[in-house]
Amino acid sequence: MKNMRAVVGLLALTAGLFVVACGGNNAPPKEDFPALGQPAKVKILNAGDGTKAPLRWKAVKGAGEKLSLILDTKMEISVSGQSQPVNMTMRMDMDGRVLDVMADGSSTVSMTVTDASMEMPGMGVDGAGDMMRDMLKGMTIEATMDARGAMTGTKVTGGSDLMATLGDQMDSSLDQMAIPFPEEAVSVGAQWQALTTQETNGMKVRMVGTYKLVKLDGNLGVVEMTIQQFADPQTMDMNGITAELKGLKSAGTGTMSFDLTRPMLAKAEIDLKMDAEMELMGQSADMKVDAKVKMVPKGPLTEAAPAPDKVVPEDGPAPEEE
């Protein structure tokens, strides 16, 4: 169990890489970022050249999608001159649902983990896949967002106590699955920037996401994205593993498709690289991460048919009495 806690601590750090890349020296001024817990600040950079229209989420209550999140992570951790490669592949199958749609266009969406697996070649963690399934299965992340994609509340329920930290990390990451749209009307070629402030595993971060609209056909579209996250030196607590963050360098790029009627039920492919310098459990450590993340839609959810009002015998209905 001690080894598994260490694994969960690493997962809690890398799971956040689902949508973020840390570091860089060209951060916008700190005062440009919203306060912790406030919606993203979105700034239009280029509205595009064609016929323009505002992008707005217009969720349909009851819409659902089966999705798989696949996180393939290659890490190299160097402590006191000794290097240890750590390769992990984690898959989560989820049911995504639009639970409700309000009059102002806000919607409530949930993601429930229906199955999970993990592979860690050479780590000697017996039964890691079964343990990960037991810890994650049943965990639900619920979020409320407005028509432009700004989150107004999230909560995580279910799963095991050991996954609380990872659940909080996924909670912070969920708001990036719904692309934040600018206030202004746009056309293909438009670019915009979203600034957010988050806290994950006790680490406060400032995130910059830059989006370019490369395709739009009715409710369906595709954006190209680059994302950076800026963090000051600070102490992190990764599910019991204490680390002092000293410095970060990284870059991340990807593409994300969307359906305006189904917020957060998207297809995404993202490549991320991170190089972090920290003090881990009292020793100087460097961590290099190369992560590939995929969100793959698996088809619409099918609801169980309602029970009939009357049970009809297999040999047909009884004859009516005269």
Please report, in tens digits, the pLDDT of each residue of the chain (322 residues total). Answer: 444 444 444 554 454 443 333 334 467 898 999 988 788 899 999 999 999 999 999 999 999 999 998 989 898 888 877 887 888 888 999 999 999 999 999 999 999 999 998 887 765 555 666 777 888 888 888 888 899 988 777 788 886 665 555 555 555 555 556 789 999 999 999 999 999 887 766 677 788 889 999 999 999 999 999 988 788 888 877 666 778 888 777 778 999 999 999 887 778 998 888 888 888 777 888 888 898 989 999 988 875 434 444 433 444 444 444 4
End-to-end alpha-carbon separation of the chain, Å?
Answer: 72
| Inside any domain, residue 16 | yes
Question: Tokens in use for 141?
Answer: 């992340």
| Inside any domain, residue 314 | no
The domain tally of the chain equals 1
| Inside any domain, residue 19 | yes
| Inside any domain, residue 223 | yes
Give the per-residue pLDDT at 84.
Answer: 79
DSSP string spanning 74-90?
EEEEEETTEEEEEEEEE
| Cβ pair 268, 254 in contact under 8 A | yes
Segments forming the whole domain that contains residue 251: 2-300
| Inside any domain, residue 317 | no
Stated pTM of the model? 0.79
Write the single-letter amino acid at 237: D
Residue (of 172, 271, 290, 169) closest to 225 by Cα position: 271
Q: Alpha-carbon torsion 20, 23, 29, 34, what sign?
A: positive
| Inside any domain, residue 321 | no
| Inside any domain, residue 316 | no
| Inside any domain, residue 315 | no
